[in-house]
Amino acid sequence: MKLIIDEELCTACKQCASVCIRDNIIVEDVAREVGSNCFECGHCMAICKQKAITLKSFEGNEDRIIDYNPHEIPVEYEDFLKFLKQRRSIRWFKKKKIDKETFDKLFEGAYYSPSAQNEQDVEFVVLDEKLDEFMNLVYDIIKVDEDKFFRIKEFGDYLRDKSSKEFHPLLWEGKQLILTFSTDKTSAVIANTRLELLAYSLGLGGFYSLFILKADEINHDKLMDFFPEIDKNKHMYSAFIIGYPKVRFRRTIPHNDIKITYF
């Protein structure tokens, strides 16, 4: 049993049962948990007007339970769209590094992210002091594709002779890197996108790296040796270089029209 149902508070309104996607609740005189199928999504608890349902697993995390006005959308469409329009990849950064407190603010966005089967298994690594060591490993893995991608070739040249390039071919001026791991790719990408957007709202910026991700595609086991604490069933599905922007862009740039089909 995953739920604590306060029968005194329950008014048998059936809202909890109506939003349960696992048919785990039936309501007669009061709500009762009937199955063992609950995957702890919390819909029943989140909808209950009476606060009659709690998930056992949430005990100790009561400070995470915040009431809000269900009829109020806290962001206006126009503001949010304007915010999205102003996003650009940032590769040139100030020297100032992001501190842990600020990173924690970003990860707060990921905390509320959806995940496949409600696995909630997305985890992050912030690479800072170990960034160079990690990038050496990345090169060691992705160098097999040096002939296919000029960037990887440039990266190798740079590692052999730092004076050969003004900027790091993969990190540009980036000094901090967020990696996202999960068993499910979509869940990882969604979680990272949330922290990315929050980052812009705090005046931070960054860009995604395709080449760092190649390390996972080419030799997952070797990559994961760098992260002994992380379950090897998880993959590195996002690599986001982040920092305080040195450049400020001034206008939007046209994109290809998005192809949308309505059937």
Ligand X SMILES: Cc1cc2nc3c(=O)[nH]c(=O)nc-3n(C[C@H](O)[C@H](O)[C@H](O)COP(=O)(O)O)c2cc1C
Q: Choose between 70 and 254: whose C-beta lies nearer to ligand X.
A: 254
Asked if 210 interacts with ligand X (CB under 6 A), we say: yes
Asked if 207 interacts with ligand X (CB under 6 A), we say: yes
8 Å CB contact between 156 and 139: yes
Asked if 89 interacts with ligand X (CB under 6 A), we say: yes
Closest separation in Å from C-beta 210 to ligand X? 3
Cα 239 to Cα 198: distance, rounded to the nearest angstrom: 16
Asked if 208 interacts with ligand X (CB under 6 A), we say: yes
Closest separation in Å from C-beta 255 to ligand X? 8
User: Three-class SS string for 125-180?
Assistant: EEECCCHHHHHHHHHHHHHHHCCCCHHHHHHHHHHHCHHHCCCECCCECCCEEEEE
Joined together, the tokens standing for residue 137 give: 């490993």
Asked if 84 interacts with ligand X (CB under 6 A), we say: no
Asked if 209 interacts with ligand X (CB under 6 A), we say: yes
8 Å CB contact between 141 and 220: no
Asked if 176 interacts with ligand X (CB under 6 A), we say: no
Joined together, the tokens standing for residue 16 give: 């909890």
Asked if 180 interacts with ligand X (CB under 6 A), we say: no
Closest separation in Å from C-beta 177 to ligand X? 12
Closest separation in Å from C-beta 243 to ligand X? 14
